[in-house]
Amino acid sequence: MHDERRRIEERVERVHNQRIKPAIYAATVPFEVEAWQAPGEPVPFEEAAAAPYEPFAMDTLWGPPWGTTWFRMRGQVPAEWAGRRVEAVMDLGFVGDWPGGQAEALVHLADGTPLKAVNPLNQYVPVGNPATGGEQIDYLVEAASNPDILANDFAEPTPLGDVLTAGDRPLYTFRRADLAVLDEQVWHLDLDLQVLRELMVHLGEHEPRRHEIMHALDRAMDALDLDDISGSAAAVREVLAPVLARPAHASAHTVSGVGHAHIDSAWLWPIRETKRKTSRTFSNVTSLADEYEDFIFACSQAQQYEWVRDNYPHVWARIQESVKKGQWAPVGGMWVEADGNLPGGEAIARQLIHGKRFFIEHFGVETKGVWLPDSFGYTAAYPQLAKLAGNDWFLTQKISWNQTNKFPHHTFWWEGIDGTRIFTHFPPVDTYNARFSGEEMDRAVRNYSEKGAGTRSLAPFGWGDGGGGPTREIMERARRLADLEGSPKVVVEHPDDFFAKAREEYPDAPVWVGELYLELHRATYTSQARTKQGNRRSEHRLREAELWATTAALHAPGYAYPYEKLDRLWKTVLLHQFHDILPGSSIAWVHREAEAEYARVAEELEALTAEAVAALGAGGTRVFNTSPYDRTEVIRTSAGAPAYVEVPASGSAPLAASAVESPQPVTVSGRVLDNGLVRVQVAEDGTLSSVYDIRANREVLAGQGNLLRLHTDLPNYWDAWDIDKHYKNRFTDLLDPDSVTVVEDDPLLGAIRVTRTFGKGSTITQTITVRAGSPRVDIETDIDWHEAEKILKAAFPVDVRAPHSSAEIQFGHVQRPTHTNTSWESARFEVSGHRWVHIGEPGYGVAVLNDSTYGHDVSRTVREDGGTTTTVALSLVRAPRIPDPEADQGRHRFTYSLLPGATIGDAVAEGYALNLPLRVAESAGAAEPVVSVAGEGVTVEAVKLADDRSGDVVVRLYESRGGRARGVLRTGFPLAGAQVTDLLERPLEEEATAAVAGDGGVEVTLRPFQVLTLRLRRGQ
């Protein structure tokens, strides 16, 4: 047989694209269109309906950046269209090949009922099927002219990322607004051809099946009348029917498809626009569910549901109905799809608590899995927290973006830091926006790592980020691929069903231990430092407000615990932990608003805490300690004078009574600070030339400490997201200070201030402080930052041979090798941590603490004298220009610290101390802390009243050092009983009743890093 592949394939491609596709709509009549440009922010339907409209012609420019234009469209279905499928078809001027992040619209009936959205790849609205002919159509269309920030693949900075800088030049040309007849035979023919052509080109040239399809397509083209596409479409489909009917091989891989629409809660658009994106996409989804009974849609992020509930009641009602019918599957059980590294432990717990409760309350559905496809790596604390929230499975996707190493599994057990395992899947289709293309189906099979053991994988399908979600075309592809030779079998099903089947067939799946580190997007630990600082501060202020509100509720008659306010504030903080807000990868508008929200949260939480403390009554000045550890340290009183105080964990003490005699006073001599525990010498260049641990009789540093190094930082792509290894090759050390000055010389504290000017007019002022009774060296930092495409690091070369570093994560810490023996270790050149990083050798360790920094690197070298230098370098601030050209510009204030001679336990305690400053207030306080714990390693993370308003006290604690721990928890109130609960404060059946000792304490035994939630019933 002659090889005619080229002729046939080119023939089919041309006829398909140039003749068949244009014939999908058999007849059209234009709408009469009028327009009204809404001033400023979006307006309610009622206001738009009453607005003055003006005639609008097609091929006319419309839509300034971030604007809203309302179009009134009127038309009449021609009488001769009776019995046919009629649709409204609109092209707003869609651009590029990305269906999200550009113009979108929501179509309403004249009474305000939302019908369906119009998106780049979903341009129709059903009118009648069949039409009766003569119908009067009257639509009001809310069109959003969102700019395409992703244009040109982020090649250049753009001012379009903020309404304040975007200008008002119209962005789009309205191309089409028609009533049209959908020719269903031609439409189905188009889909038959799509599926067969794509299957054909992804089969090997040696495969007989490829050639069978090719010749069937050639015969189909012979059957097509080019002068009557509509009239011959049915005959063409008959030619293709036999090749579409050939069943899949018995051993064919099964792809479980689930409808999905990944909608970033903010990214290249502000939160206000996401509220509208959700309504558009969800209206599309519920409309599609009416057309396809076998359709199932999985949707996460309770926050987005709440937005729709509050702003689009019609869409909300349709969602509720779809859930009842089993076509809509709430998944994920989180408030938002949060970043997987940066939120604190209690914050991740609250993500799960608030998300799961929302779905239980509004749908009667308890989600069973964590749905988190698009986050930039995942903390090793997740398996335990997911299980404690009642989840059985975990789904992610982003690890497929690894720059260096291919992740070895697609279905596996993920083991967290405490030993908890959760069944996890990582779809080999490598996308959460699948459309069942031939390329995707080929990739899913070829890529699947579990061949020979597992037979199935998951594929979330649908256009995300405002693309409108799943479409009827994708559903039709799924139907054709349900049982088709040469392709994996496709079944649309609930993700719970997929996970149950996958686990049943592969119960002994391999185990991955520890974090799921993404070898990409490492700069998200640092970009937009003020956003990250706002999150850290908010988490700690929430802890503080809950503790003292609980204290007041127990001891202050008439005080009302602020349930609603705390709930609202928690949800605000949880929203801003979304995986494109907290990581710093959003446009300027998003981060501008985030900083304002954090300021508002801080103000409200400060007021709540002050109110709770004041409610405890008048009685002099008192010091309050929110930390879970006893504190003896130097503070400044309200008058500004230093005082040395002792305050119990989670408790308070009178300022006068808490004052204790200070140990050896601080002395300041030249540029040397000495408190008898540590002696710090500041060099002329402003670095630390020596930090001598007097207790251990050893020098801590092996080089210049607190060396500020300014690196060139231009990644290959994804500026706000990435830091590539070549940043290390070009840098400037900041060694020319403007001044080095003693600014504090007191027996309780001494401080030296170093000021520098550098780069493009940036300044940095650092105050190096040593306090009586503490080996901790604080470096308070104030930066006025005006650099571009730079990263500033602060390095501490330490004279220890550390085989690994330990970095705090949620409810524990992870150890990472300091060597680069393999490509896996080498790829971890920038990593995340929370309040501390610890390095050490047997018998001696050093910690570097921080109050708002997450990114760092740890490296080591061997010196000529044979000793080893292990260097911890904190990433302080960056200056990416895309997608926010002014990212990180301006003022930053934060503190980081060096803690010589530190154990892991010391790092934990001092990390809390640095992040939870002692509070001085006028108050009588409470006689005892709400809870106190005796037992090393048992750390209290949260103290609050139960969410069910029963008055029970809920305490969450964990083992913080990495070993087994035993302790006794005692209460500052009469204790009637204790229960062990899950995160949602429901009793755990296997250990429902906690042991209460005879003296009223609760006995606690914890495995390494175990999280335990106790519900304490109050006695009389």
Catalytic residue among 192, 374, 674, 884: 374
Q: Where are the beta strands (DSSP E) in 786-922?
A: 790-798, 804-809, 812-817, 831-832, 836-841, 844-850, 855-862, 868-878, 890-900, 919-922
Q: What are phi and psi of 574, to 5 degrees?
A: -65, -40
Concatenating the DSSP letter of every residue in 515-556 gives -B--SS-GGGGTSSHHHHHHHHHHHHHHHHHHHHHHHHHHHS
Quick check: helix, strand or coil at residue 769? strand
Q: How confident is the model at residue 895, as a pLDDT?
A: 98
Short-list 460, 472, 468, 395, CA closest to 431: 460
Question: How far apart, in whole angstroms, are the C-alpha atoms of residue 237 and residue 756?
Answer: 76
Per-residue 3-state assignment (H helix, E strand, C coil) for 674-713: ECCCEEEEECCCCCEEEEEECCCCEECECCCECEEEEEEC
Q: Give the pLDDT confidence score for residue 151 in this predicted structure.
A: 85
Asked if 374 is an active-site residue, the reply is yes
Q: Alpha carbon 778 to chain centroid distance?
A: 31
Nearest to 471 by CA among 295, 266, 304: 295
Q: Are 916 and 544 in contact (CB under 8 A)?
A: yes
CA distance 110 to 114: 9
Burial annotation 940-970 (CB, 10 A radius, 16+ → b, else e):
bbbbbbebeeeebbbbbbbbbbbeebebbbb
Please give the DSSP secondary-structure letter assigned to residue 848.
E
Mean pLDDT by 10 residues, the chain (1020 residues): 86 97 97 97 97 98 98 97 96 90 96 96 93 93 96 89 97 97 98 98 95 97 97 98 98 98 97 97 97 97 98 97 97 97 98 98 98 97 98 96 97 98 98 97 98 97 96 98 98 98 97 98 98 98 98 96 98 98 98 98 98 94 97 87 93 81 89 98 98 98 98 96 97 98 96 98 98 97 98 98 98 98 98 98 98 98 96 98 97 98 98 97 93 96 98 98 96 95 91 64 96 94
pLDDT at 1: 66
Position 996 scores a pLDDT of 67
Report the C-alpha gap between 207 and 192 in whole angstroms.
20
The length of the chain, given as a count of residues: 1020
Residue 293: count of CB within 10 angstroms of its CB = 9
> The pTM is what?
0.97
